[in-house]
Amino acid sequence: MLTLLSVSISTIVLINVKKWNWNALFVALAMMTFLSITTVNNSGSASWSFLSHSLAVDSLSAPLIILSCWLAPLCFLAQNVVKGNSGSLQNGFLALTCSIIFFLLLTFSSLNILSFFICFEATLIPTLVLITRWGANVERLQAGTYFLFYTLFGSLPLLVSIVLISQTTSTLMIPISEIVTLQGNTFFSINIWWIITIVAFLVKMPVYGFHLWLPKAHVEAPVAGSMILAAILLKLGGYGIIRMNAYFPDVTTLSAILTVICCWGALITSILCTRQTDLKALIAYSSVGHMSLVAAGTIVFSDWTISGAIMLMIAHGLVSSALFALANILYERTHTRNIFITRGFKMITVLLPFWWLISCAANLGLPPLPNLIGELYIITGIISWSIFLAPILGVATVFGAIYSLLIYQNTNTQSIVLSSMSFNEISPREHILILFHLLPLLSIIVAPNSCMVWSN
């Protein structure tokens, strides 16, 4: 693990390479990805490996570490417009992205809850700078403010909860968390403790009530920011809930309420998706829907739901990032994200509809892609928890299929609007970008155990 971290922090040195800094960084991060695949644990039980004093990898963090390492070179591949900036601005962009990846690696591998929190927050500042400095519209300042303050509103109570946990149990180590018992004072105290711990991750996921920052941040962010945000930073929330739920084994009333809220949130956002006009906002709301499902799964906290949650997190990260990259491919050429205008590109692009088809099919949960496996596990677990959520989750899945097909049909098979539009060819860089998003999806189909091991 230390190898991985030191490689990731030393890639920042490559910013100073004169003419080939983007390529050098791409190669270095690709090598780091290759290193990170060794963390996968195929033994079938959730055990800690790569154990050191303060860093370790277990079956929950290994897929997420690989995902964050995998997304890093793809971000550099996607962001083309920044190359028009001056040298120092390019270096700033590269440094920010590398620092986000470094802090993400630290977050997923830290054994100490306080260091997890510090690195969890440390990803905020570079993302904020990415959104507000390299975004394109005036609204990016408000988007950055919403992003920062929604997250901090949730995470400051989390800090209080971490401090309280350290007072009560005099340890902050994650592997011990199943053994310690927290004693609140009255009946309400342990529930309030759980709420203030969870709110940070619910905001980060986001679930439906706290989701307002996500469409704004996604629409205003540059494509690399959107990709990292959708792929990894939302998964920090799921990872956090799974880790912290071990301290609170018996909060039944509140977890029941939250599960229902998350399931309804998945349904509502799926319906909202069908009425969006901005393509990136559509994909953002679909992210909210999928992650609400993950949140419901992690709050129910049974074996099946958490396995499904991990699988859905990985699959959704890849697919959502691919969708944002596809949307950006169109945006770079037409400079609009309006779905009434970005229509009918099947006529003028060569391989792109194929990528759109696979990404939208994965988004709606087509077998045998891992999105379906994750959703199936989560829905099965939630239905066994309470049968009354079955129609809600069913309708949410149907609407998920509706808007995913809507995205595909609108961008590809509708009649094209701008007949006199000059449209550059899709370069091999962009083809490789989407291909490398979708290849891991296909490989997870044959090895689902790499992303699904969790035994309580």
Contact residues: another protein, CB under 8 A: 88, 103, 114, 117-119, 121-122, 124-125, 129, 132-133, 141, 144-145, 148-149, 152-153, 156-157, 159-160, 163-164, 166-167
Burial 138-157, CB ≥16 within 10 A → b, else e: eebeebbebbbebbeebbeb
Residue appearing with tokens 């983007």: 22
- The minimum distance between CB 115 and another protein, in angstroms, equals 10
In the complex with another protein, the residue whose CB is nearer, 157 or 448, is 157
- The minimum distance between CB 428 and another protein, in angstroms, equals 33
- The minimum distance between CB 232 and another protein, in angstroms, equals 18
| Alpha carbons 175 and 111: distance in angstroms, whole number | 7
**Residues in CB range of 8: below 8 A, 6 or more apart:** 29, 32, 69, 98, 101, 102, 105
Residue appearing with tokens 């992650």: 291
- The minimum distance between CB 233 and another protein, in angstroms, equals 15
Q: Which residues pair with 173 in a beta bridge?
A: 112
In the complex with another protein, the residue whose CB is nearer, 118 or 406, is 118
In the complex with another protein, the residue whose CB is nearer, 192 or 395, is 192
In the complex with another protein, the residue whose CB is nearer, 55 or 267, is 55
Of 298, 57, 98, 124, the C-alpha closest to 198 is 298
In the complex with another protein, the residue whose CB is nearer, 99 or 371, is 99
Of 191, 320, 212, 339, the C-alpha closest to 265 is 212
In the complex with another protein, the residue whose CB is nearer, 159 or 256, is 159
- The minimum distance between CB 161 and another protein, in angstroms, equals 10
- The minimum distance between CB 125 and another protein, in angstroms, equals 6
In the complex with another protein, the residue whose CB is nearer, 81 or 114, is 114
Counting beta carbons within 10 angstroms of the beta carbon of residue 388, is it exposed (0 to 12), middle (13 to 18) or buried (19 or more)?
exposed
**Residues in CB range of 383: below 8 A, 6 or more apart:** 389, 390, 393
Counting beta carbons within 10 angstroms of the beta carbon of residue 42, is it exposed (0 to 12), middle (13 to 18) or buried (19 or more)?
exposed
- The minimum distance between CB 358 and another protein, in angstroms, equals 37
Helix (H, G, I), strand (E, B) or coil at 263: helix
- The minimum distance between CB 164 and another protein, in angstroms, equals 5
- 282, 327 in Cβ contact below 8 A? no
Cβ neighbours around 312 below 10 Å, total? 29
In the complex with another protein, the residue whose CB is nearer, 103 or 385, is 103
Burial 60-79, CB ≥16 within 10 A → b, else e: bbbbbbbbbbbbbbbbbbbb
